[in-house]
Amino acid sequence: MKKVFVIGLDCAEPTLVFEQWREHLPNLGRLMDSGTYGDLTSTIPAITVPAWASMMSSRDPGQLGFYGFRNRADYSYERMSIATSQAVKVDRVWDILSRAGKQVIVAGVPQTYPVKPVNGYLISSFLTPSTLSQYTHPASLKHEISSLIDGEYMLDVYQFRTENKDHLLEQIYQMADQHHKLIMHLMTTKPWDFFMHVDMGVDRIHHGFWKYFDKRHPQYEPGNPFENAIRDYYIHLDQQIGERLELLDDDTAVLVVSDHGSQPMMGGICFNEWLMQEGYLTLEYQPEGIVPLEKCEVDWGKTLAWGSGGYYARLFLNVKGREPNGVIDPADYERVRDELIERIAAITDPEGVNIGSVAHRPEEIYQEVNNIAPDLIVYLGNLRWRSVGSLGLNRIHTFENDTGPDDANHSQEGMYIYNDPEVQGRGRGPKRHLMDVAPTILALMGVPNPGDMQGGSFAG
């Protein structure tokens, strides 16, 4: 039976790995040359949570019942809950493998805190409060990590919103190097049949440094000191990947995957400002300064819709009998929603050029809709523009994030590289969906598929 080694690179952009920097990435290149690689379509929304959970369970976000990091806990206007591992009510691939007696090592995969027991080892990811928390299974692994790593184990880069880009870069490398040391240690000292690690540094460096290298970015300036920062990080990771690959035998299949891709961020749409302009959102009074919606006095009796900020926008409707001060009659729900879809599609940039926004109805994109989904999932500029939820800017467009600078947004296509030493690779292969990854892992390891996964295996 095969072993499977999964290299997760959060936000890794296929065009950079497959084309632009391929010649600089010899180890990933070797995997591509003798394997099969292509685009890996992400979830809608294309964001770390729910994408990794969707990938590892082969269930869409609607089935999973969470649509982002933070979700409405009920139909009140305020209560939100963070989607931790407790929100994942279905098996992920390592749960199935554990029950089948396979030894698993799962490190840094998003949405694994609080930790749950596995047949092997698990180290949680960046939704962990701190290393004082129980972030490993078994509990004793935490102390093994402390002995191995200099300083504190980095669950994420800290102080991400900084203009001190040198310091941010240093942290990203420090995290990668620390995690690499741990991975090498685990690979060589613990038994495993399935090994998966997700590097979050790729996502962090994209968001922090994209404008410095991508000529398409509105704020790109040639000759800046960080022009090669992202490329050099990919090279660094490729070297580390090479060291890990040397430890693998011919019975091990390798998957390199990302949960979504990346693209330059053109700017931000102040979504709630836009809703106010369009007459859907009313405040009791204008805030002083730039204020998150949660801190504004919303006149709910005159508000039909409100939105949230992030890499994509979520829109919620204020429905009678559903929300506490709902105003939309249920009979008018679809009409209002249709109207908003049309108006969102007509959003333009400051020059009046349509930015190509798309609003998705959850029931049209998911097999089922569990818990409380947004009424619309909105891709502003098809993810080229982020959503800014704060009010007080008094304009629709902004080129500064309400929480600080951000250079990149996500794109719908991530990447996969599938390399099985016993299978002839096909080179550039078909586009797959990330829900195909879990069935592929099970097929490779000869473990029965539960039968209700949405994706299909591309093994063989």
Segment lying near another protein (by CB under 8 A), choices 90-98, 145-153, 309-317, 361-369: 309-317
The answer to whether the CB of 240 falls within 8 A of the CB of 184 is no
Q: Does 210 bind another protein (CB under 8 A)?
A: no
In the complex, minimum distance from the CB of residue 275 to another protein, in angstroms, rounded to a whole number: 17
Q: Does 117 bind another protein (CB under 8 A)?
A: yes
Exactly one of 2, 72, 179, 207 binds another protein (CB under 8 A); which one? 207
Exactly one of 219, 403, 449, 454 binds another protein (CB under 8 A); which one? 403
In the window 41-80, what residues touch another protein (CB under 8 A)?
Answer: 47-48, 68-70, 73
Helix (H) or strand (E) holding 173: helix 165-189
Q: Does 172 bind another protein (CB under 8 A)?
A: no
> Rounded to whole angstroms, how far apart are CA atoms 24 and 80?
44
In the complex, minimum distance from the CB of residue 84 to another protein, in angstroms, rounded to a whole number: 5
Q: Does 218 bind another protein (CB under 8 A)?
A: no
Other CB atoms within a 10 A radius of the CB of residue 29 amount to: 18
Q: Does 173 bind another protein (CB under 8 A)?
A: no
Q: Does 142 bind another protein (CB under 8 A)?
A: yes
> Rounded to whole angstroms, how far apart are CA atoms 236 and 259?
20
Q: Does 120 bind another protein (CB under 8 A)?
A: no
Q: Does 204 bind another protein (CB under 8 A)?
A: yes
Report CA-CA distances (Å) from 230 to 73, 131, 162.
Answer: 37, 28, 17
Exactly one of 101, 129, 222, 321 binds another protein (CB under 8 A); which one? 129
Helix (H) or strand (E) holding 105: strand 104-107
Exactly one of 324, 330, 404, 427 binds another protein (CB under 8 A); which one? 404
**What one-character DSSP code corresponds to residue 16?**
I
E strands, 259-312, are 261-264, 267-270, 305-308
In the window 362-401, what residues touch another protein (CB under 8 A)?
Answer: 386, 389, 401
Q: Does 353 bind another protein (CB under 8 A)?
A: no
DSSP bridge partners of 409 = 263
> Rounded to whole angstroms, how far apart are CA atoms 453 and 152?
38
Exactly one of 127, 237, 276, 434 binds another protein (CB under 8 A); which one? 127
Q: Give 207's contacts (C-beta < 8 A, 6+ positions apart).
A: 160, 406, 407, 408
Nearest to another protein of 2, 206 (CB atom):
206
Q: Does 126 bind another protein (CB under 8 A)?
A: yes
Angle at 295 between CA 292 and CA 300, to 5 degrees: 105
Nearest Cα to 322, choosing from 20, 75, 118? 75
Q: Does 189 bind another protein (CB under 8 A)?
A: no
In the complex, minimum distance from the CB of residue 160 to another protein, in angstroms, rounded to a whole number: 5
Q: Does 131 bind another protein (CB under 8 A)?
A: no
Other CB atoms within a 10 A radius of the CB of residue 369 amount to: 18
> Rounded to whole angstroms, how far apart are CA atoms 100 and 158?
38
Query: Which pair of structure tokens corresponds to residue 18?
Result: 């497959």
Exactly one of 15, 34, 103, 133 binds another protein (CB under 8 A); which one? 133
**What one-character DSSP code corresponds to residue 2?**
-
Q: Does 160 bind another protein (CB under 8 A)?
A: yes
Nearest to another protein of 255, 391 (CB atom):
391
Angle at 406 between CA 219 and CA 272, to 5 degrees: 105
**Which residues contact another protein by CB under 8 A?**
47-48, 68-70, 73, 81-82, 84-86, 113-117, 126-127, 129, 132-134, 138-140, 142-143, 156, 159-161, 204, 207, 308-311, 386, 389, 401, 403-404, 406
